[in-house]
Structure 1
Amino acid sequence: MAAASIAGSGVRPQGLDVPARPVGAAEVVGLDGLHNAEFGVTEQELTRRGVLRTDVEACGPTLAGHESVSPIFVDDRLVLLWLDDPMSTPEGITAGTPVSEVRDHYPSAVDLTAPQGTHRFDGLLARDGDRAYLFLHDRTAVRKIIAGYADWARRLFDEGYGPC
């Protein structure tokens, strides 16, 4: 997939996208990304802004001030954010949220079943246009959240890719 198609048109459909604001101690990640790390932005631009860091002991680049977020880049563009606790969606979904609550907030989310014989989590893909949240869960509660371009979230699920 070419970088131009990954970046999308920049036009956001109405629906799941809610302005990001803190929920308790969590920082909210919307379907446009973080307030200083938007989906589609280049690694070079994030580095220029001082947001992307490669000088820390991690499995890849990190976002300054966002220790609970792992960025995933394809063709130099930010396509996904792999979120850890205490990050949340605008609806307050975090790691540990019951799957039933995710279904209540995202009734059109698509069930994704992990391949048998693997140690991977099942998923719920809540899509809004070209963006989505992928909620990885143990059938009881959310364990990980990935936000970003829907096609890349689905590919991540299908291929079993992690942030490292």
Structure 2
Amino acid sequence: MTAASIAGSGVAPQGPLVPARPVGDTEVVDLDGLSGIEFGDTEQELSRRGVLRSDVDACGPTLTGHEDVSPIFVEDRLVLLWLDDPMSTPDGITVGTPVSDVRDRYPSATRLAAPRGTHRFDGLLARNGDRAYLFLHDGVTVREIIAGYAEWARRLFDEGYGPC
């Protein structure tokens, strides 16, 4: 991906951001990142700290101890985290959450329609400043969650990029 300016207009929920912390069987990813892993960190820094691994059989680098998260880097910086079940937002949204719950918790989220004739999901982009959650859904339930910089989340949606 190359840098681009993408205007978004959704707003994340009201209130302070909750730090990433385990909740039951889920782990919370907030708009700063995960515990010890923040958006904007470099691949080199994360590797030096032993948090980023590239020696496993995966489609790209992986985060040590976070098999349910795929990091996406642009120009050596962590810009997005692609979340799988059982990862959660601070508001309890996980893969499988009803879309109506997402709309209730993020009422200002921008609705994004997948291009016609594709097998891609529609989205809800919930922004808070330069950060956002992108909830990809089938109209009934959340199928994928992406967290990170709003510009890159919107670009991911527009271009149809995946974690691999």
What TM-score do you get using the length of structure 1 for normalisation?
0.90
**1:152 positional shift:** 0.2
Letter in 2 for 1:89: T
Q: Which residue of 1 aligns with 2:117?
A: 117
Letter in 2 for 1:65: G
- The list of structure 1 runs, each at least 4 consecutive aligned residues, that deviate by more than 3 angstroms after superposition, is none
| Aligned counterparts of 2:114 and 2:131: Cα–Cα separation in 1 | 21
**1:18 positional shift:** 1.6
**1:19 positional shift:** 1.9
| Aligned counterparts of 2:83 and 2:16: Cα–Cα separation in 1 | 18
1:3-152 map, 5 Å: 15=15, 17-152=17-152
Letter in 1 for 2:47: T
Where 2:55 maps in the other structure, the secondary structure is coil
Q: Which runs of 5+ in 1 are unaligned?
A: 6-13
**1:17 positional shift:** 1.9
Letter in 2 for 1:24: G
| Aligned counterparts of 1:127 and 1:30: Cα–Cα separation in 2 | 12
| Aligned counterparts of 2:61 and 2:40: Cα–Cα separation in 1 | 16
What TM-score do you get using the length of structure 2 for normalisation?
0.90
| Aligned counterparts of 1:161 and 1:90: Cα–Cα separation in 2 | 25
Q: Quick check: 1:15–1:128 contact (8 Å CA) kept in 2?
A: no
Give the percent of matched residue pairs that are identical in Structure 1 and Structure 2: 81
**1:36 positional shift:** 1.6
Q: Which residue of 2 aligns with 1:8?
A: none
| Aligned counterparts of 1:16 and 1:57: Cα–Cα separation in 2 | 38
Letter in 1 for 2:97: T
| Aligned counterparts of 1:148 and 1:15: Cα–Cα separation in 2 | 18
Q: Quick check: 2:20–2:33 contact (8 Å CA) kept in 1?
A: no
Q: Which has the higher contact order (CA 8 A, sep 6+)?
A: 2
| Aligned counterparts of 1:72 and 1:16: Cα–Cα separation in 2 | 25
Count of aligned residue pairs for this structure pair: 154
**RMSD of Structure 2 on Structure 1 (CA):** 1.5
Q: Quick check: 1:98–1:142 contact (8 Å CA) kept in 2?
A: yes
